Chain A
Amino acid sequence: MSQSALLRLTGITHDYAAAEGEAQRVLEDFELQIAPGETVALWGPSGSGKTTILNLIAGLLEIQSGEVVVAPPGESPIALRRLDEEARSAYRRAHVGYVFQFFNLIETLTVGENIRLPLELAAAGRRRGGAGGDGWASSRDRLVALGLLHLEHRFPAALSGGEQQRVAVLRALAHRPALLLADEPTGNLDRANSERVVDVLWQEVREARTTMLIATHSDAVAARADRVVTIG
């Protein structure tokens, strides 16, 4: 791994069990390297394996072949293949933010609580107790900056799709992760809302100085990235 890479995938091959009992290969010898602070778009058609790559990086899927190594600034590199489920959970709590296409927010928590949740989980993971502290203060500042503070005590059901995605971006960055993964974050939105969410995403990533890997099949979104990796 080069000294400057924050994320490196080497020789990733991944199969899914098909209904007939045969394996269906979605990735073969996939390689990727991302430098700290870089924004990379993973561009490809549906079924090309974009979500699988993101899930492997997030530690949501077990690595079958190859290796994923993440090197958060100031910390030792983490080789995900060696981690068990609990360790991968701890890794996500500390270093990963994730934005989905939909179902991003927990319905029974308010906007403010949704944003505080990763902070609480991270704090609990560090056995420090408490929920938030400085992390929440800066997240609340971002809510103010984005004009979303009036939504703080509302439940997700009362928000529009665009508002939910913007809140999801803030939630994903609340605990200052080294790496933000976004899986088609605008796939469920109209054009105007899509542009607003992408604006917020890039603005917040820049603000947090976070590295981002975004899966998309939108040319417009891909064009905003520092680099585009095409698969499939």
Chain B
Amino acid sequence: MLAGGLVGLAQLRFARRAAASLLSALFGIAIAVASIVGVHLLSAEIDRVVDRQARPLGTIEVFLQRDGLSDAHYFELRRRLRAGEWPRVAGLAPILEGRVRVDGEWLRVIGTDLLALQTGALPATQASGWPAFDWERLLTEDAIFLPPDLLVDTDEARIGDTVVAVLGRGARPGLALADLPTTRRVLDAQDHALSSIGVLFHPAPSTAVDRLRELLAALFPGVVPATDPEPLAGLSDWRQPSVAANTPGRKLTRAVLFNVAALGLLSLVVAWLLMAQIARHALERRASMLDRLVALGVSQRRLLRRCIGEGAVTGVLASLAGLLLGWWLAAALLSAIQGGGDVMLPLDGWAVGKALFSGCGVALLGYALAARAVLFPPAALLLGAWRWVLAAVLLGAAVVGLALPATGLFGAFLAILAGVLALLLVLPLVLVGLARASLSWPLRLMVLLPLRQICQAPELRLGVSALALALAAALGIGSMVASFRVAYDTLLDARLQDDVALEWADWRRLGEHALPAHVRQVRLGSQPVRAAGRDALLEFAAVDAELLERFAPAARLAPGEVLISEQFGRSLNLRPGGRLEIEALGATHVLTIASWFADYGTLESRVLVGLADARRIMGDELRFTRVLLDAGDTADGSAGADLRALLAARQLPFEDQRQVRDRAEEIFDQTFAITRALTALALLVAALSLMNALVALALQSSPTGRLLRVLGASRRGRFAVLATRAGSAAAVATLLALPLGIFIAAVLCYVVNPRAFGWSFPLELTPGALGWPLLAALLAALASTLVSAWRRD
């Protein structure tokens, strides 16, 4: 017992001497855990919000739709349901939805038969976002639930020509709920008209696969997609979109969350490298003490257990710190995304579990591997040839992931992971090769010396690896975001080149000739059709060139040709030169696909046609829906201001394109705020890792420093050796990170984005995207030099 106490005391005193390293490890792991926890909490919250938005009517899973849908179809389906045709179905609900303008804002109104939802869809208020309500008033009066953001502060609201009683407010902005008759009145819809029929399913018996899916969904919120139910039999002439398909934003959000979760894991990998490096250094420093303890009869396994115990304590402390930091980070980022305000996120058991599992796992694994390497040195390290072979296998896996679209996002991220692992495998060989090559380099010895040190010091490899990995990720993600921004700005420049947009009815109220002659008027139409069997928007303009100028400036459009949005083309493999069937008004028209056009930020399927083709497709139903007005450029922007003032004086609601652009850019930046924060955290952990490695090396190579002093090297010269060493390590990390980062950026631009969202954009290596990671490397090197010099002196 006494011996055990003394052994522990010896180790404890040693740990106290290495307090700076231990604190670095704690800090690094805590930041990585914070990334994991922050991503989890953010994903869970965003998933909750998206889920609630996707399910305005509670647990409806599928919509049934067809042309000319009416109450008669609903009653027919209900009869078939009661006849037992679909035993999985618990209930059906008729739905009518449409848009109206209230106080200048578009309001989506959903109407349903609330009695048909007695199976429990609507009253699940937590899931649907609707408060408890007064059934009797909703059914007997023209009453409505308004969205929280509509600035109507009375018991009554005027919607169109209808005055409705306000029963309360739901949780989703822009969405109102009423019963069917009220909705028909508000929307001025035909009697018996419906938009869709909602289908509610009985809870399915839970299988092992379902339970596994539920577990994964809880563990990785937002990343694991829900499965669509099987289509109902006997409804071949009906469309049966699932809730997920009906709300493309859900897919978009899941793809974003997937990216973010991958970034969180990156921080953990970098933290593991940091921990392994620090643990190895700490154990190597006490190797002589451990040898003496072994000589005194303490078993190596017991020492290994003690070292692992030290890792466990570090892990628990770092996990708890990371949990709190991650909680704060998630709230701060969510607040930033929402544009300010306090956010309080629930800290669930999964977040706590992930924090402890991640932090302790990283610490234990780092310590266990380091202790094993120090206490039980391997007979031989992994041979160089095998490293090359393994790297080649990994690169093969990357090629498979990239070449096979069926592998989806997992294939794309597998390619990135394989690239990263290949880099880590090859790095030691590169460094050894550099050391060999340096024998013939005509450099001054005071420069060669630190270069050799970084090539030959095993403890530096982990630090350089961590920095290279984080730099590559920062460079890759930064380049992708910058490229996306360039492409998005180009799109906004074209789409929002005019001053204002008016709804067609408002423009008619204004009158074509009420505007000054210099105001350019662009008439646009957008009408729903079916294209390649999918709901799509047919877009056209009074002048074809004006349509192209706004949607696809580089494209050409001949009669009989269409342009389709890239995501539409990719999702159905519709290629330029191919045929597109457009169904409208009971007729089918076949046109040739001229090319794809970029349509970022939406997953709607769009088809651009010339006016002549639009008339052929829509016939008498052809309607223009919007008018863009442009007062022309003036240096002081006064022409645009005059136009806006004119419209405001006429009390006409209009969309200020400049404000739309500002808002679009704001949303873009908010969307990528999470990405930037996580990348910065990974860089911080990596910089810590490099700093620790360099400080450790400086301490280990103190005999070299002493020799240099004896040989007459000046203080400045010795500082230059430290600086060169740190700078060289950062330079090697940067050199390795550059190809990997460009590879990651290319995969993100050309593979991940098309697979996740359906769009792509050219990779632009901007100075900003390249500069920040390089600056981070430089700062890491500078900090390492200063700390090393301070520790040395």
Interface residues of A (CB under 8 A from B): 58, 60, 85-86, 89-94, 96, 98, 100, 103-110, 113, 116-118, 120-122, 124-125, 131, 153
- Among candidates B452, B701, B711, residue contacting A118 with C-beta atoms closer than 8 Å: B711
Q: List 6 A-B pairs, minimum CB-CB distance, nearest first.
A: A93-B712, A108-B452, A92-B712, A103-B703, A89-B714, A98-B710
Give the CA-CA distance A125 to B717 in the complex, in Å: 11
Beyond the given A60-B710, A117-B711, please list 8 additional residue pairs across the A-B interface where CB-CB is below 8 A.
Answer: A86-B714, A98-B710, A100-B710, A106-B449, A118-B712, A120-B446, A121-B717, A153-B439
Chain B positions within 8 Å of A108 at CB level: 435, 449, 452-453, 456, 704
CB–CB B712/A89 < 8 A: yes
CB–CB B704/A107 < 8 A: yes
CB–CB A103/B712 < 8 A: no
Q: Does B385 contact A (CB under 8 A)?
A: no
Chain A positions within 8 Å of B444 at CB level: 120, 124, 131
Identify which of B701, B704, B710, B715 gathers the most chain A CB atoms within 10 Å of its CB. B710
- Closest beta carbon of chain A to B703's beta carbon, Å: 4
- Given contacts A85-B715, A89-B715, is CB(A121)–CB(B709) below 8 Å? no
Which residues of B from 305 to 325 have beta carbons under 8 Å from A? none
Give the CA-CA distance A58 to B709 in the complex, in Å: 10
- Closest beta carbon of chain B to A215's beta carbon, Å: 14
**For residue A171, which residue of chain B has the nearest CB?**
B711
Q: Does B510 contact A (CB under 8 A)?
A: no
For chain B, give the interface size range: 20 to 34
Q: Is the interface of A mostly helix, strand, loop or mixed?
A: helix
CB-CB contacts of B426-460 with A at 8 A, as 1s and 0s? 00000000010001000011101100110010000
CB-CB contacts of B336-374 with A at 8 A, as 1s and 0s? 000000000000000000000000000000000000000
- Given contacts A107-B704, A108-B453, is CB(A116)–CB(B709) below 8 Å? no
Interface residues of B (CB under 8 A from A): 435, 439, 444-446, 448-449, 452-453, 456, 701, 703-704, 706-715, 717
- Closest beta carbon of chain A to B169's beta carbon, Å: 71
**For residue B456, which residue of chain A has the nearest CB?**
A108
- Closest beta carbon of chain B to A194's beta carbon, Å: 22
Give the CA-CA distance A103 to B435 in the complex, in Å: 21
- Closest beta carbon of chain B to A120's beta carbon, Å: 5
Chain B positions within 8 Å of A60 at CB level: 709-710
Chain B positions within 8 Å of A110 at CB level: 439
CB–CB B710/A58 < 8 A: yes
Q: List 29 A–B pairs whose Cβ atoms lie within 8 Å, in order of A's numbering.
A: A60-B709, A60-B710, A85-B715, A86-B714, A89-B714, A89-B715, A92-B712, A93-B711, A98-B710, A98-B711, A100-B710, A103-B703, A103-B706, A103-B707, A106-B449, A106-B708, A107-B456, A108-B449, A108-B452, A109-B445, A109-B452, A116-B445, A118-B711, A120-B445, A121-B446, A121-B713, A124-B446, A125-B712, A153-B439
- Closest beta carbon of chain B to A105's beta carbon, Å: 8
CB–CB A104/B707 < 8 A: yes
Give the CA-CA distance A31 to B365 in the complex, in Å: 60
Chain A positions within 8 Å of B708 at CB level: 106
Give the CA-CA distance A108 to B445 in the complex, in Å: 10
CB–CB B710/A121 < 8 A: no
**For residue A106, which residue of chain B has the nearest CB?**
B704
CB–CB A106/B713 < 8 A: no
Identify which of B712, B715, B717 gathers the most chain A CB atoms within 10 Å of its CB. B712
- Closest beta carbon of chain A to B488's beta carbon, Å: 50
**For residue A94, which residue of chain B has the nearest CB?**
B712
Chain A positions within 8 Å of B445 at CB level: 109, 113, 116-117, 120, 131
- Given contacts A106-B704, A109-B445, A120-B444, is CB(A89)–CB(B452) below 8 Å? no
Chain A positions within 8 Å of B706 at CB level: 103
- Given contacts A103-B703, A103-B707, A153-B439, is CB(A109)–CB(B448) below 8 Å? yes
Chain A positions within 8 Å of B714 at CB level: 86, 89-90
Chain B positions within 8 Å of A103 at CB level: 703, 706-707
Chain A positions within 8 Å of B456 at CB level: 107-108
- Closest beta carbon of chain A to B38's beta carbon, Å: 41
Give the CA-CA distance A98 to B708 in the complex, in Å: 11
CB–CB B449/A109 < 8 A: yes
Chain B positions within 8 Å of A98 at CB level: 710-711
Chain A positions within 8 Å of B448 at CB level: 109, 113
Give the CA-CA distance A222 to B404 in the complex, in Å: 79
**For residue A95, which residue of chain B has the nearest CB?**
B712
**For residue B707, which residue of chain A has the nearest CB?**
A106
**For residue B450, which residue of chain A has the nearest CB?**
A108
**For residue A130, which residue of chain B has the nearest CB?**
B444
Give the CA-CA distance A157 to B81 in the complex, in Å: 85
Chain B positions within 8 Å of A91 at CB level: 712
**For residue A155, which residue of chain B has the nearest CB?**
B456
Chain A positions within 8 Å of B709 at CB level: 60, 89
**For residue A98, which residue of chain B has the nearest CB?**
B710
- Closest beta carbon of chain B to A154's beta carbon, Å: 11
Chain A positions within 8 Å of B717 at CB level: 121, 124
- Among candidates B453, B704, B712, residue contacting A90 with C-beta atoms closer than 8 Å: B712
- Closest beta carbon of chain A to B701's beta carbon, Å: 8
Give the CA-CA distance A125 to B711 in the complex, in Å: 12
- Closest beta carbon of chain B to A41's beta carbon, Å: 20
Chain A positions within 8 Å of B439 at CB level: 110, 153
- Closest beta carbon of chain A to B452's beta carbon, Å: 4
